[in-house]
Structures are given as structure tokens and as C-alpha cells.
């Protein structure tokens, strides 16, 4: 066993805290190699803006669940984090997965988009309201139970992720994905984060901002 140091430096947003909160995180890989990276201060909350046209809204269990079935080769979520799937996620004319079980190309999204910027979420709420969207909501995700980890993707890249220890909910930032995957898309929002498939009700605060 040996120590391999990989440092990921990311400028925190003003609401994220100071650099004094950054701390090293160790990850023991399956090959018994210990990887370390400098974890930035985690966002205290995430925000998700939805309306009646959103593909993923809270379900009867109060979860955000895309309904995507991770089957076969995609049984391990580390195989779905790639530039093609991320491009599809931020393409509002194509928010579906490119490969599907039945080949019809209309499976649900693989990711749930959130933001770490409450000002952006508020502006997005106002924008949808002005467009007369119905059931506009802002849901707040509490990150108190999330911890930093280092995910080893199928492509060989290492991606910093936040994971809820109880549910396994995993969220990563578009900034870190851009660095890890050399992912460059002009529509990428640096404030956007992606949750793998679902966000459980246990981390969603009961208070909801709405236009009704």
C-alpha cells in the first residue's frame, strides 16, 4: 500500500465558507491504493427549481426520482458519468438517455439537476413565474449528512462527489465534472450540480417555496 496524493482545488462560492474549512479526504481504492484529495467546503444546501413541465418532480414518497433503471452495464453508476450523458442532461431538447433498454430512446434522465446558488434559484423561480409556468417550486436539499468522497469512473477519471451516508445519494458539481472529464459545453452552468438518479425525501426540507 502506498499513498498517492491528488489535490483538487476549487474556489468556493461566497456562501460556501472559507478555505479554512477545507480538509484532506482519504479514499481506499479496491486495488488497495490510498488516494487523498483536498475537499473544498461543501455547500450547506442545494436548491432545485421545478414546475409542471419538469421531467423529475417530487413523487408520492416526496423523493426526486427520475425513474431511470440502471440495468446491465449501467448497473454501476460510475459507468454513466460521461460527457455524452452530461451533454444530454443540459440539452433541454434532449433530456433523455442516449441508450435505452428497448431502443426507443425515451428513457428518463439519469441525473437530477440542483444548484448551490440560492440567488440563481430565486432568479430561475422568477423567470418561470413570468413565463406563467404552473406549480413553480423551490425545494431545499440539506447536505448535513453528506460527506466528500472520491469516485473512480469507468473511464478512469477520478471525480470528487458528495454522498449521503444513509441513502447513498451521490451529487457532483459540473465544475468538477468539467475538470475530471475534460468536459466543455458552452451551455454548462458552473452553478449546477448533478445527483445520480434520485434525491431521497430524508434530505429534502419540508418547507417549499411556491407560487401558489
pLDDT digits (tens, 9 = 90+) for 35-51: 667 778 899 999 999 88
Lowest mean pLDDT among 68-82, 95-109, 130-144: 95-109
Confidence band, pLDDT 50/70/90 cuts, at residue 141: very high
Higher-scoring residue by pLDDT: 72, 137:
137
What was the pLDDT predicted at 142? 96
pLDDT digits (tens, 9 = 90+) for 14-24: 233 333 455 55
pLDDT of 183 > 90? The answer is no
pLDDT of 32 > 50? The answer is no
pLDDT of 12 > 50? The answer is no
Share of the chain above pLDDT 90, in %: 23
> How many beta carbons lie within 10 A of that of residue 93, not counting itself?
5
Average pLDDT over the chain reads 74
pLDDT of 205 > 80? The answer is yes
Q: How does DSSP classify residue 82?
A: S
Average pLDDT over residues 55-61: 74
What was the pLDDT predicted at 17? 38
Confidence band, pLDDT 50/70/90 cuts, at residue 154: confident
Share of the chain above pLDDT 70, in %: 68
What was the pLDDT predicted at 52? 77
Higher-scoring residue by pLDDT: 125, 66:
125
Higher-scoring residue by pLDDT: 1, 196:
196
What was the pLDDT predicted at 35? 65
pLDDT of 166 > 60? The answer is yes
Amino acid at each position: 500500500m502506498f499513498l498517492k496524493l491528488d489535490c483538487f482545488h476549487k474556489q468556493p462560492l461566497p456562501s460556501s465558507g472559507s478555505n479554512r474549512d477545507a480538509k484532506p479526504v482519504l479514499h481506499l481504492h479496491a486495488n488497495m491504493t490510498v488516494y487523498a484529495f483536498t475537499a473544498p467546503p461543501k455547500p450547506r444546501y442545494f436548491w432545485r427549481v421545478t414546475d409542471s413541465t419538469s421531467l423529475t418532480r417530487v413523487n408520492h414518497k416526496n423523493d426526486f426520482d427520475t425513474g431511470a433503471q440502471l440495468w446491465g452495464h449501467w448497473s454501476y453508476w460510475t459507468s454513466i458519468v460521461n460527457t455524452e450523458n452530461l451533454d444530454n442532461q443540459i440539452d433541454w431538447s434532449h433530456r433523455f438517455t442516449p441508450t435505452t433498454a428497448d431502443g426507443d430512446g425515451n428513457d428518463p434522465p439519469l441525473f437530477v439537476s440542483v444548484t448551490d446558488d440560492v440567488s440563481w434559484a430565486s432568479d430561475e423561480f422568477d423567470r418561470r413565474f413570468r413565463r406563467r409556468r404552473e406549480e413553480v417550486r423551490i425545494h431545499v436539499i440539506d447536505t448535513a449528512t453528506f460527506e466528500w468522497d472520491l469516485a473512480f469512473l469507468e473511464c478512469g477519471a477520478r471525480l470528487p462527489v458528495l454522498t449521503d451516508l444513509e441513502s447513498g445519494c451521490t451529487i457532483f458539481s459540473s465544475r468538477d465534472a468539467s475538470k475530471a472529464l475534460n468536459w466543455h459545453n458552452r451551455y454548462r452552468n458552473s452553478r449546477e450540480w448533478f445527483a445520480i438518479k434520485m434525491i431521497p425525501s430524508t434530505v429534502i426540507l419540508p418547507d417549499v417555496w411556491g407560487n401558489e
